[in-house]
Amino acid sequence: MTSILSPDDLLRLRVHALGLCVQPGAQARGVGSGTAAARTTESGPARIAETAQRMLAVQGQDWRSARWALGVRTPGTTVADVHAAFSEARIVRSWPMRGTIHVVAAEDIGWMQTALNHRVLAGAPKRRETIGLGDATLDRIVDVSLAALRGGNALDRDGLSAVWTDAGIEWQSGWRYHVIWWLCQNGLTTFGPVHDSGEPLLVRADEWITSPRTLTGDDALGELACRYTAARGPVTEKDFAWWTGLTVREARRALALTAEAGGVIPVRLNDASGPQYWVTPETLGTILPASRSTPQLSEWLLLPAFDEHLLGYTDRAAQLDPAHFDRIVPGRNGMFLATVVSDGRVRGTWRRGQRIGSGIELTALPGERVDPSALMPELARWCEFHGFAPLTFDLQETPKPQISGT
């Protein structure tokens, strides 16, 4: 029998699955619903890695935002714990799907790429033709790169391209991103240990990742569907297809495999005309009448740019009024701003002030209210995570909408 959810149920379940809820009776402010938050006896790097593993993957194109995406879901940790998780080969930064860089548990990156590369790599030859990079030259650069990284060596982007120059390769500036992407997307390299400059360095994946999981075929599809849903559900097959880069047919098959094994179950909103959603039994159990641990949504949160709270879905209406999408993604250019969230809903945006000594600038969405005093505990947590001195908020005026023709 398919369970019927209210819109409030949908939001509550999603925020719980995302690791952004607070369990009743939690002793420390911000203790989330994920297991990583509860296992306080584990080391900080281990807890960060567990959060990454539970989330399957988190957006990683903005390095600073990616670190807080892990930290906000792992209370009591610091940015040093994130760096240590990278340097201890617990997590990596690479391209698992959609041609988009993510942070992933080191053991998962290989099988994810095996399952999802077929569509992404198909467009690579055309891209190389556009930038004038021939296959023979690419093969030469790959060989030189892997030789330079052999034996545990680690290089940043500049160091790697300097190796190409030293090898006598006349490379063009437009090639570097594509070559590094190609090396990582094919599982030859990955971004691993964090350099003194603060960002991960490239290493050989076969040397750095010592205990990779091996999943193929239906096993991989089922794992993707189950873990994606566990970390974001309720979700639709369209959400899953978009997030993974699979076709809708492939996504539907993956969810069916998982449903057959009992990993996910179908639910619908009380509006029967809407799409079918999928959720794990464990997540659904948090709102059942017999549950004594219904997750609370009363917390104010400062979520990073590109957070899975929005990026994990195609339809984000439960979390964000669609009328405000352009204020979160100005110009619809794919650049998601950092968000202020309360009761699971986006209420505004925030950013570090541009002036020296300035605090955190808060901007409410039209018709919404942002409460700086209620956000102070969250700001303190953000500062502690990064090792910053205490900061204050600067409430900005909500920009007026642009009127066409003016």
Quickly state the pLDDT bin for 32 (edges 50, 70, 90).
very low
Confirm whether 330 is domain-assigned. yes
- Cα 196-49-70 angle, rounded to 5 deg: 75
Average pLDDT over residues 258-280: 92
In a domain, 249, yes or no: no
pLDDT of residue 77: 97
For residue 288, being part of any structural domain is answered with: no
Residue 12 has pLDDT above 60, yes or no: yes
Contact call for residues 296 and 22 (beta carbons, < 8 A): yes
Which three-class secondary structure state does DSSP give residue 49? helix
Record the tokens describing residue 153, joined without a space. 């060596």
Got the DSSP string for 144-181?
A: HHHHHHTTT--B-HHHHHHHHHHTT----GGGHHHHHH
Domain at 172, CATH number: 1.10.10
Asked whether the beta carbons of 325 and 313 are under 8 A apart, the reply is no
Predicted confidence (pLDDT) at residue 269 exceeds the cutoff of 50: yes
Average pLDDT over residues 283-299: 69
The residues pairing with 277 across neighbouring beta strands, listed in sequence order, are 267
Query: pLDDT grade, residue 38 (50/70/90)?
Result: very low
| Number of domains into which the chain is organized | 2
pLDDT for residue 289: 61
Torsion of CA 366, 369, 370, 372, to 10 degrees: 140
CA distances from 292 to 19, 122, 287 (A): 18, 49, 9
Give the span between the Cα atoms of 355 and 32, in whole angstroms.
33
pLDDT band at 309 (very low <50, low <70, confident <90, very high): very high
Closest C-alpha among 282, 283, 229 to residue 254:
229
Q: Name the strand (E) or helix (H) holding 102.
A: strand 100-105
- Residue 24 structure tokens: 């009743």
What is the arithmetic mean of pLDDT over 262-291? 86
- Amino acid 65 reads S
Task: Choose the final residue of a domain: 179, 208, 237.
Answer: 208
Is residue 133 assigned to a domain?
Answer: yes
CA dihedral sign, ordered 261, 264, 267, 273: negative
**Is there a domain that residue 67 lies in?**
no
Helix or strand holding residue 240 (H, E): helix 237-244
Per-residue pLDDT tens over the stretch 75-109: 999 999 999 999 999 999 999 999 999 999 999 99
Distance CA 220, CA 211 (A): 17
Q: Is 393 left (phi over 0), alpha (psi -120 to 50) or beta?
A: beta
Specify the pLDDT at position 402: 53
Q: Assess if residue 60 is contained within a domain.
A: no
Dihedral over alpha carbons 209, 215, 216, 222 (to 10 degrees) = -130
Which amino acid, 294?
Answer: T
For residue 203, what are the domain limits? Answer: 109-208
pLDDT band for position 336 (cuts 50, 70, 90): very high
Distance CA(105)–CA(98), nearest Å, equals 17
Least confident interval from 4-8, 153-157, 158-162, 302-306: 4-8
Over range 43-61, report the average pLDDT. 97
* pTM for this predicted structure: 0.91
Here the tokens at position 244 are 């993974």
Provide the pLDDT confidence category of residue 122 given band limits of 50, 70 and 90.
very high
Q: For residue 27, give the 3-state DSSP assignment.
A: coil
Q: What does the block give as tokens for 253?
A: 């098959």
Q: What is the pLDDT of residue 356?
A: 65
Query: Which of 176, 208, 240 represents a domain boundary (last residue)?
Result: 208
pLDDT at 25: 42
In the prediction, which pLDDT does 345 show?
Answer: 96
Report angle CA 169, 170, 173 to the nearest 5 degrees.
115
Q: Which helix (H) or strand (E) holds 350?
A: strand 345-352
Q: Domain for residue 255, yes or no? A: no
The answer, yes or no, to whether residue 206 has pLDDT greater than 60, is: yes
Does the residue 55 lie in any domain?
no
On the question of pLDDT at 385 being above 70, the answer is yes
Q: Please provide the distance, in angstroms rounded to a whole number, between the alpha carbons at the two ends of the chain.
A: 55
Give me the phi and psi of 103, to 5 degrees please: -100, 130
Last residue of a domain, one of 208, 232, 263: 208
Q: What gap in Å lies between CA 393 and CA 406, rounded to an integer?
A: 32
